[in-house]
Structure 1
Amino acid sequence: MSDGLRPGDPARLGGYEVLERLGDGGMGTVFLARSPQGRRVAVKVVRPELSHDEEFRGRFRSEVNRARQVPPFCTAEVLDADPDHDPPYLVVEYVEGPSLAQVVREQGPLGAAQLHSIAVGVATALTAIHGAGVIHRDLKPANVLIAPGGIKVIDFGIARAFEATSQHTRTNQMVGTVSYMAPERFDTASGRPVGPAADIFAWGALVAHAATGRNPFGGDSATATAMRILTQPPDLTGLGGPMRELVSRALEKDPAARPTARELLDGLLTAASPGGAGGAAQLLGGTPAATVSPTAAGDDQGQRSTPPGLATAGRANSRRRRLLTALGVTAAVIAVLVPASLFGPKLLRGQSNPDPDGSTTTGSPAASGPTAATPTPTSGTPTASPSASVDPTRAMLAGQRRFLLHVVEINRDLSLPSHGEVEVGDGTGKDALFVLEPVGVDYMIKSVNPDIAHRPCLGVKIDSEGYASLVGADCQPTKATVFAMSREGKDDKGRTSYSIINDEYGVVQWSPSKKVIYVEFLGDAPIDTTFSLVDRGAV
């Protein structure tokens, strides 16, 4: 709903002509504007007090860059941003349509078909958002728009720039709406970063609100609501069937007990079939849901067992996943499609589909063969190319193949020799071979060098002067050993290149002056070092 323009509102922001005020929120004011090309866009102007906060500007730029990696399917596409403007602003796709909050407020709780469509659409959006290494942090009915072509989730990812900048918040103040905050978000003393599981909790509260017209932890005040979230079970009266089971698991107090976004999505698609969970598997020619074996893929909280009842929802075999992708729509899903490209490189597990950036690599010499700078290892490691039916990029991202970690900018390869300090070399020895161990939407990077079997995973080490380097570490998912891989482009052989990012310490970089690999929090600086995966055979 527009509110015209008020005295003091800007007439222009950069190259954008401001047309109307759309609303105000905790992070700033949203305007309808016209781009230089004539396209209507939504411009979010952040609070003026942040204009001179350099920490905020750096984080804002970094989070915008990550948000741009999210496929614009079921999300409002991030188009532009200017963190250096006074005040800073963000430009996103303008979505016409009411919010879920407005629909429920005006029409009451949703019917079963509408509810399922909303649940699938938001789970789809979260799958894409998490697959790009982004966490929403402020998912709520007001941030879900009911567009003519389906639902759109807005305001994803950027909340981290606000929440992580201490200067703009009062003590114990957090960005977000209390009714949709996960229990771990109130534990500010632990210092633990908020993970994708917090968005899953918000999904559960959002779906419960859409189904019943009330929040499952609603109290008389924000404090009372927070206490109920921390100590009481959710009130799901009025919500039944398979949806109740999924929502209940999403609202678990323990983040590790919640399903991932992909597990939610698969569970919703399975529940929509004529025969329920088992019926879906049978309909697709697979094993009944309760008996399908999980894969080796991790999840948002690290390596844990899948919650009972969802054992196959997120761990189905590749044949079933390809069929679900091909079907795209079920009888109960209205205007929500699930294409393979949505899931991104971190969530697709060993499918013979196109490369995560959209180009096909199956059977391509550039994707599987050695390069001049990365000759065949001399340690006797098998180097047979994968069969034509296996996509090597996806197989490597799924932890199913060994690879060289090729530094694109210097045409060299990482290695982890027996002394445990990461180096660069020519990729010819056993210390240059790695595999990925998926941990949710991120990874641990494990060396297969038998000489360092006691500490084979890459980890960040901070020395006495605060310098961050890469060393061998125990293969336990911690803030020092888990890395995101974000697509950045192509190397000279046509392989997808990635930046490697540790959420706690920053981006893996190469120092031309010191000739070493190090880790640095870049803020708004560009990423200088990218890596490609050079296939070296099945694990």
Structure 2
Amino acid sequence: MSPRSPREISVLVPPDLAPLYPDDPSRIGPYLVLGRLGQGATGTVYAAVDTASDSPGDRLVVVKVLTSPELDSADAYPALEQRLRALSNTDPTRVVVPLTFDSDANPPWVSMPYLAGERLSHYVTRRGGLGTGKLIALATGLAEGLSALHTRGVAHGSLRPSEVLLESHGPHIMECAVAASAERMRGAGATWLSPERFRGGTATPAADVFAWGAVVAFAGTGRVPFGPGEPEEIAERAAEGSFDLDGLPKGLLPVVGRALDPDPERRPSLREVIGAVIAVWQAENAGEDGATGSPGRDELAHVLEREWQAVEPPARVPQVIRLEGRMSNHRPGRALFLAGSVVVALTLVGGGVWGLARAFGPEEDGALAAADTAGERSSSESPSPEDDPLTMVVRFDPAEQESPATGPWLYTPVEPEGELVRGQGVPTHAEWAERWEAAGEPGLAVIDPEAEVLCAKFCAAPQHLFIDEEGRGTWELTGGDFVDYLSWGPVVIVEVTFAEEAREGDDTPREIVRVTELFTD
């Protein structure tokens, strides 16, 4: 076997990784960028290579470029520097902490260890509420993670199920680099926001305890504790202390109920939370497996860690990364943020989208998978609704889905309200949805996981636009990716193609085999 070129290194990569966009950096600080893991309101997350590492298994890292609205002002950067330094010294057992960072870069970035797992929001959506053992392990782990943050003077500020990563060693708290403003959290994050935070208060340890209670309630029951509705309705119920904990293990009811108290002064400390949850574990396991006394913390941690051993991601696959070309100033930075021309040779094999691609909050899940041929497909290859009676334009509203993870999925046929005018600026998803009116009775459909999906904006990457000259999506995904989108995304207008015509009197959901998102500019 010929020796490997000094311009080649081996790295273990996830089995599925979204490619880079044309304007993505190929180098961030000391790291070579391989592909995308997610994108959302707080920045873009990349898989990258630490070329200084001697071990192929340790070379893969996660680098997040921070473009959060909280960083729009130059005054925010000293506080960001201080927060990232504090996070770097935080106990990493239950918190994803920085490896390195550059708060002076333009934009700033932070690198973190790569952890393969599944975010709590997906896990509960697919499986329902956790069993008592896993729930106690989760409640303890999250409380210990928050305690580690508070010890360093850091309040998380936006803890929610989408920011909790589950892997074979337990839960890990993510998205700690920037404390979300109350304004940004009032929308999709209202369920996890304490009343004082909803009114505009800053992130505090007491607000984190409230979020802990809401997340544990969701994980134990499979339902949001304050019920569905508009953010203001949810906030009103939270301010009244009107929560639903039906189905939560009886032993956890007192401590979770106290955590959700509208008055921050009446909420328990994290020390009290951990003690109360451990007491529940001891009561549940008295006399079992020799658990007759109070175990030491190390022993308890080992026992609780066993609850997560079934949460295993697909094994990463070895790939050779070839480095070519010279460095350039593709993207200037405040200090260390450099970009170069690097050819990344990757042959990725199949498998589910695991790791941090599924780990970064509902808004961080923008682009989960894509083909290299995005943008090359002509609209002439798509069946026309006039020529193919199996094709129609419909609206999917994720908020209307009874079972967003498993289906069947509710759709409503729509048609534009008058002529759609282009070239008037990119509308928001709400503005775009309002341009379409119902044109038929709602129906139910199943979605083939291997269906061809062409996204234009919302089901691909909310900060980018991928349309052809007719306003049809060009970013290629799969039916499985689109199903994932329907568990968290906004309303979307798509053209769908069914496998067969509906039979009269047949209530069986039809199967969708092709989806093309429609949008405008």
TM-score by length of 2: 0.50
Residue 45 in structure 1 maps to residue 83 in structure 2: no
**What letter matches 2:212 in structure 1?**
W
Residue 178 in structure 1 maps to residue 190 in structure 2: yes
Residue 334 in structure 1 maps to residue 343 in structure 2: no
Paired with 1:241 and 1:258, the residues of 2 have a C-alpha distance of: 19
**What letter matches 2:270 in structure 1?**
A
**What letter matches 2:178 in structure 1?**
A
SS of residue matched to 2:258:
helix
Paired with 2:226 and 2:76, the residues of 1 have a C-alpha distance of: 32
Post-superposition offset of 1:275: 7.2
Q: How does 1:409-424 map to 2 (within 5 A)?
A: none
SS of residue matched to 1:236:
coil
Note if contact 2:190-2:198 (Cα within 8 Å) is conserved in structure 1. no
Flag the 1:71–1:271 CA change in 2: closer, same or farther, 3 A.
Answer: same
The higher-RCO structure (CA 8 Å, 6+ apart) is 2
- Please name the residue that 1:325 is paired with: 297
- Please name the residue that 2:178 is paired with: 159
SS of residue matched to 1:145:
strand
**What letter matches 2:306 in structure 1?**
I
- Please name the residue that 1:69 is paired with: 89
Flag the 1:257–1:21 CA change in 2: closer, same or farther, 3 A.
Answer: same
- Please name the residue that 1:10 is paired with: 25
Flag the 1:214–1:4 CA change in 2: closer, same or farther, 3 A.
Answer: farther
SS of residue matched to 2:272:
helix
Paired with 1:25 and 1:173, the residues of 2 have a C-alpha distance of: 12
- Please name the residue that 2:125 is paired with: 105
Q: How does 1:113-512 map to 2 (within 5 A)?
A: 113-156=133-176, 158-160=177-179, 163=181, 172-174=183-185, 177-188=189-200, 193-274=202-283, 284=293, 324-325=296-297, 327-329=299-301, 334=306
Note if contact 2:38-2:44 (Cα within 8 Å) is conserved in structure 1. yes
**What letter matches 2:196 in structure 1?**
E
SS of residue matched to 1:118:
helix
Note if contact 1:48-1:86 (Cα within 8 Å) is conserved in structure 2. no
Runs of 4+ in 1 over 6 A off after TM superposition: 48-52
Paired with 2:71 and 2:243, the residues of 1 have a C-alpha distance of: 40
Note if contact 1:2-1:23 (Cα within 8 Å) is conserved in structure 2. no
**What letter matches 2:244 in structure 1?**
D
Post-superposition offset of 1:101: 0.8
Paired with 1:173 and 1:120, the residues of 2 have a C-alpha distance of: 28
Note if contact 2:156-2:203 (Cα within 8 Å) is conserved in structure 1. no
Q: Quick one: which of 47, 50, 59 aligns to 1:32?
A: 47
**What letter matches 1:32 in structure 2?**
A
Flag the 1:214–1:2 CA change in 2: closer, same or farther, 3 A.
Answer: farther
SS of residue matched to 1:53:
coil
Paired with 1:88 and 1:328, the residues of 2 have a C-alpha distance of: 39
The CA RMSD over aligned residues, in Å, is 3.0
Post-superposition offset of 1:114: 1.5
**What letter matches 1:159 in structure 2?**
V
Paired with 2:99 and 2:48, the residues of 1 have a C-alpha distance of: 13
Post-superposition offset of 1:174: 4.6
Post-superposition offset of 1:68: 1.5
SS of residue matched to 1:159:
coil
**What letter matches 2:136 in structure 1?**
H
Paired with 1:110 and 1:328, the residues of 2 have a C-alpha distance of: 19
Structure 1 segments unaligned to the other structure (5+ residues) = 164-168, 285-319, 337-539
**What letter matches 1:180 in structure 2?**
W
Residue 91 in structure 1 maps to residue 111 in structure 2: yes
Note if contact 1:109-1:213 (Cα within 8 Å) is conserved in structure 2. yes
- Number of residues of Structure 1 aligned to a counterpart in Structure 2: 286
Post-superposition offset of 1:173: 4.3
Paired with 1:48 and 1:155, the residues of 2 have a C-alpha distance of: 11
Post-superposition offset of 1:116: 1.5
Note if contact 2:64-2:111 (Cα within 8 Å) is conserved in structure 1. yes
Paired with 2:163 and 2:70, the residues of 1 have a C-alpha distance of: 22
- Alignment deviations for residues 301-354 of structure 1 (CA, whole Å, 9 cap, x no partner): xxxxxxxxxxxxxxxxxxx8xx63353347566369xxxxxxxxxxxxxxxxxx
**What letter matches 2:262 in structure 1?**
K
- Please name the residue that 1:56 is paired with: 76
Paired with 1:26 and 1:135, the residues of 2 have a C-alpha distance of: 20
Post-superposition offset of 1:276: 8.5
Post-superposition offset of 1:6: 2.0
- Please name the residue that 2:99 is paired with: 79
Paired with 2:197 and 2:72, the residues of 1 have a C-alpha distance of: 27
Paired with 1:72 and 1:326, the residues of 2 have a C-alpha distance of: 16
Post-superposition offset of 1:247: 1.1
Post-superposition offset of 1:232: 4.2
Note if contact 1:16-1:34 (Cα within 8 Å) is conserved in structure 2. yes
SS of residue matched to 2:99:
strand
- Alignment deviations for residues 357-387 of structure 1 (CA, whole Å, 9 cap, x no partner): xxxxxxxxxxxxxxxxxxxxxxxxxxxxxxx
Paired with 2:271 and 2:41, the residues of 1 have a C-alpha distance of: 29
Paired with 2:280 and 2:72, the residues of 1 have a C-alpha distance of: 50
- Please name the residue that 1:23 is paired with: 38
Post-superposition offset of 1:16: 1.1
SS of residue matched to 1:220:
coil
**What letter matches 2:41 in structure 1?**
G
SS of residue matched to 2:220:
helix
**What letter matches 1:118 in structure 2?**
L
